Amino acid sequence: MSLRLLDCYTHVSYGGCHDRSPGTNAPDGPRAVSQPAPGNRAQADPGAAARRRFGLRDEPADALGRQADAVAAACHAMAVRFHQGGRLVVFGTGGASADAQHVAVEFVHPVIVGKRALPAFALTADVATVTGIAERDGIAAIFAHQLRYLANPADIALGISAGAESPSVLAGLETARELGLLTVALVGGDGSAASKAAEHVLVAHSDDPRVVKEMHVTLYHVLWELVHVFFEQPGVLGPGVVT
Amino acid sequence: MSDALESLYPFLYSGTGDLTAVLGQVRASTVAKAAEIGELRRAVGARDGARIEECARAMAARFAAGGRLFAFGNGGSATDAAQLATLFLDPGGSAPPLPAFGLANDTSVITALANDVGPGVIFARQLAAFGRRGDIAAGLSTSGNSENLLRAFDEASRRGMLTIGLAGYDGGKMAELDSIDYLFVVPSSSVHRVQEAQTTIYQVLWELTTELTAEEMSHVPRHTR
């Protein structure tokens, strides 16, 4: 549909929120620089285009619930590794590099007061190392190299890929598996390549990498919470070194 | 939280250590959370859809006139700010790349400001250095109370930037500011669900804004861009 049809202003106010007219804040406010194109007319249903896009998330979100078995198995395996002294090593490229850092901070500094800090770090935060490896050995080596020198066999490798298969994430997972780490992958589409590279594969069922990313955010929030559920029940984790 | 966890997973706290039972509880929790975020997302879309479109038009007008986006947040929201910036700067596919900066990305600047002045200025000072009239400032918070975001919005507004805020709960102190042009509040008390719904808000904003920007720029003679 033509987005030009959206050109009408509707101010909606609701509890706890306010809405300042955007045309009043500055001489060059948005209305001043956004002249409606000729032929525009008020949209009959303001918000319809945004709601339609929100609606594209419904089915993939429902599909998350259908992966509950795989989520539970991954969380249990991760909790066992933490219990044995393992650390979580997270990696992804592009937008997923931000997700990797989000996962790391989630575990190290939980938003829920009273939850213990668990060791986790992202392989995307060290720009000097990432760019150094990429220039010398190629982009596919950026995570595998770091895993080889930073990871322990007891650790957990979590690779995140929202779009097309990422050679660097796949190589990271393969290296991690060779080293004996637990391997977990968050992927999109059908997850075919990662399913060979990782023991636990959680799939967001959408071809749109932005929608996949949103499902991944829910998945890793759930992973964090449910790892803690297991971790607080050492009876289900077997012998451990971390108390 | 332990009380909340206990009510969510009663079997866990019975002391049996029964793995099958725990797995069952965890499965049920996953299903419940997927349903919860689905419902929250639909509620936000229904309530805020029209303002999201309006905000996208305002952003597109700024980008078409040469404006840049500055995104900021703390902790998990810092990673959302990074994601928002890279969505615009490196969208891939047919979407036009647009200039955007994540203000939490440069640890040298952030640690220098935090150490020399204090964490309250880490975004405001960067906006004072970079921001121009016609730019866009987008700040993400779950509580709506982060001091460094409140100061950043005031600085951005003073400089004539378009200001966009994403918050959770009831909007916190961000809802009291008059320096935010578009505030989107995700009505949930779960930090996690708030962040998930915020991700949808900013990605839909990006989708609408890039389409509108491409359209706006097609109407503008190149020599005036």
Mean pLDDT throughout A196-218?
Answer: 93
What CATH superfamily classification does A59-236 receive?
A: Glucose-6-phosphate isomerase like protein; domain 1 (3.40.50.10490)
Predicted pLDDT of residue A190: 74
Q: Percent of chain A beyond pLDDT 70?
A: 80
The domains of chain B are located at 41-224
pLDDT tens-place string over residues A112-170:
888 999 999 999 999 999 999 999 999 999 999 999 999 999 999 999 998 778 999 99
- Chain B residues whose CB is inside 8 A of the A186 CB are none
End-to-end CA distance of chain B: 53
Domain boundaries, chain A: 3-55, 59-236
Interface predicted TM-score (ipTM): 0.86
Write down the CATH number for the domain with range B41-224. 3.40.50.10490
CB-CB: which of B5, B204, B212 is closest to A50? Answer: B204
Asked if B119 contacts B144 with a C-beta cutoff of 8 angstroms, the reply is no
Reported as half-sphere exposure (CB side, CA atoms, 13 A), residue A15 has a value of 3
At B154-211, the pLDDT tens digits run 999 999 999 999 999 999 999 999 999 999 999 999 999 999 999 999 999 999 999 9
Greater confidence, A19 or B150?
A: B150
Residue type, position B31, single letter: V
What is the gyration radius of the CA atoms in chain A, in angstroms?
22
How far apart CA B86 and CA B97 sit, in angstroms, is 9
Q: Is A33 helix (H, G, I), strand (E, B) or coil?
A: helix
B27 touches chain A (CB under 8 A): yes
Average pLDDT over residues A85-96: 96
Question: Which amino acid type is present at position B18?
Answer: D
Each residue of B128-157: pLDDT tens digit?
Answer: 999 999 999 999 999 999 999 999 999 999
Which range, of A10-14, B41-45, B127-131, averages the lowest pLDDT? Answer: A10-14
Q: What is the pLDDT of residues A45-85, one digit of tens each?
A: 899 999 999 999 999 999 998 899 999 999 999 999 999 99
User: Would you place residue A37 in the very low, low, confident or very high pLDDT band (cuts 50, 70, 90)?
Assistant: very low
Q: Chain B contact for A111, CB < 8 A?
A: yes
Residues in chain A within 8 Å Cβ distance of B181: 20, 22, 25, 30
pLDDT at A183: 98
In whole angstroms, what is the distance from residue A29 CA to residue A32 CA?
5
What pLDDT, in 10s, does the model give residues A172-181? 999 999 999 9
Predicted structure pTM score? 0.85
**CB B212 within 8 Å of CB A3:** yes
The pLDDT value recorded for residue A113 is 85
- Cα A159–Cα A162–Cα A165 angle in degrees, nearest 5: 75
**Least confident segment among A29-38, A61-70, B111-120:** A29-38
Angle ∠(B167,B168,B171) on CA atoms, nearest 5: 65
Cβ atoms of B147 and B154 within 8 Å: the answer is no
CB-based contact B43:B110 (threshold 8 Å): no
3-state SS class at B87: helix
